Amino acid sequence: MDPLEGVKPHKDTTYFLMLAAYERGYEVFFVDPATLSLRHSDVYAAVVKVKVSKNQRQPFVTEPQGLCALANMDAVWIRQDPPFDRSYFYVTLLLDQLPERVQIINKPVTVRNWNEKLAALRYPAFTPTTFVSRSVQEIKQFLKEQQRITVKPVDGHGGKGIIFLDSGGKEISEQLDNATRGERHWVVAQQYLPAAREGDKRILLLDGEPLGAILRVHAEGVELNNLDQGGSAEPAKLDDRDRQICEAMRHDLVMHGVRFAGIDVIGGMLIEVNITSPTGLQEMSRFDKTDYHHRVMASFEA
């Protein structure tokens, strides 16, 4: 995961899961991905033993342990935040070397292969009309057809780099040239969904089954619903369309070793599939008055 000192315990899902593990009697360790190494075929890392507390003023008490073979662990969580860059890519390759007896959440090869924007297109019947390109002219033609579109970097995260374009807008070529970095970088252009004004639904799934959902709504004067962009969370319920989307994905998630996932749905349309470090578990637990973090941990004990 990312450094402990950057954790915001009042909302952080990783902290919440660590707390559940600690409360259930497990030893919990922090690993800085930069310390991963291979000794022939064995994966090692510098581990830090962590006592996890509900006291959010001092959520962690740490005790460095030195190098450890990760094959000795019962479970290894990949909870590093995006961007999924070259370093993250190599982390998944190293973790591929762990023996099958170690539960890895989520499976490294799937974290590597399922781009969070593009993975939704595995289920085209449930996605908005989408065009992926780095050609300014081609995206402009797509905009002409759709009238209004959302454009986001193919490797973006946290709402960064997202722009909204109207067919009659100004400086469209300049904006697209900037978004594609001079036509060197692919972007995802999607049909704009007016339902986005009402928020987007984050649904969390455990072993292919939906746990629950929250609604992320934008701050005043901001068009993005992302919590990292000033948005806030509200209670939400799963409807029939949400369950239909989850059911369409269930087999795929289980077969590819995705134990814990978060999907984003706007107006009944699937937008993203987040399997690197899906968030929203604390908010959902508070709204539903349910200890979902313990339910997640219990699933691994089985």
Written as one string, the DSSP assignment of 69-123 is EGGG-SEEE--PPSP--HHHHHHHHHHTTS-TTSEEES-HHHHHH--TTTGGGGS
Contact criterion met (CB below 8 Å) for 91 and 123:
no
pLDDT of the residue at 230: 67
Per-residue pLDDT at 117 exceeds 90: yes
Same CATH fold assignment for domains 129-192 and 196-301: no
Contact criterion met (CB below 8 Å) for 203 and 213:
yes
> How sure is the predictor about 227, in pLDDT bands with cuts at 50, 70 and 90?
low
Q: Compute CA distances 15 → 88, 275, 293, 302, whole Å.
A: 20, 17, 10, 22
Boundaries of every domain in the chain: 4-106, 129-192, 196-301
Neighbours of 128 (CB within 10 A): 18
pLDDT of the residue at 64: 92
Q: What is the mean pLDDT of residues 33-53?
A: 97
- The class level of CATH for 4-106 reads alpha beta
pLDDT of the residue at 23: 98
Per-residue pLDDT at 75 exceeds 90: yes
Neighbours of 64 (CB within 10 A): 9
Element (H, E) at 212: strand 209-217
- Which of 42-51, 158-167, 280-289 bottoms out in mean pLDDT, i.e. has the lowest? 158-167
Decide if domain 129-192 falls under CATH 3.30.1490.20: yes
Q: Can you tell me whether residue 55 is helix, strand or coil? A: coil
CB within 8 Å of 182: residues ≥ 6 apart: none
pLDDT of the residue at 186: 97
pLDDT of the residue at 219: 76
Q: What is the CATH number of domain 196-301?
A: 3.30.470.20
Owner of token pair 């969370």: 233
> How sure is the predictor about 193, in pLDDT bands with cuts at 50, 70 and 90?
very high
Distance, in Å, from the CA atom of 254 to the CA atom of 207, rounded to the nearest integer, reads 6
Distance, in Å, from the CA atom of 28 to the CA atom of 56, rounded to the nearest integer, reads 17
Per-residue pLDDT at 225 exceeds 70: no
Neighbours of 103 (CB within 10 A): 15
Q: What is the mean pLDDT of residues 200-207?
A: 97
